Amino acid sequence: MTKTDVEYDLIEHMENEKRWMTVVAVVCLILAPLGLWINLKALEVLLVRTDRWISVRVVFFTLNLLVSALLAYVGIRQALFISRWNKKLALIKTHEKKIYEEVMREA
């Protein structure tokens, strides 16, 4: 197996994985605001019913907030990574097209 074969396999793998990575980013970016909204509404209900800030429910709300923030962070990082990956794939395709045109011109 030559280096060129390995590089083409890597490019093909990147293009296949790009779909799943996009799905992960979209799901994270949908679930995070949803979780934060649910957290806010539940905290409002809790504060109306009780005047206590320290309870088991507040601990769960805090955990929900942390998980939602983590999902938002992962989604944003994934989206930025996919953007950089798309630029690199486009650059590779551009170089590949130029090489093909030069080879066909010389042949």
User: What is the structure's pLDDT at 52?
Assistant: 62
Query: What CA–CA distance (Å, rounded) separates 79 from 23?
Result: 10
Structural domain spans, the chain: 3-106
Q: How many CA atoms lie within 13 A of 97 on its CB side?
A: 6
Say if residue 53's pLDDT is above 70: no
Whole-number percent of the chain with pLDDT over 70: 93
Query: What CA–CA distance (Å, rounded) separates 78 from 76?
Result: 5
Whole-model pTM over 0.85: no
The pLDDT of 41-61, averaged and rounded, is: 72
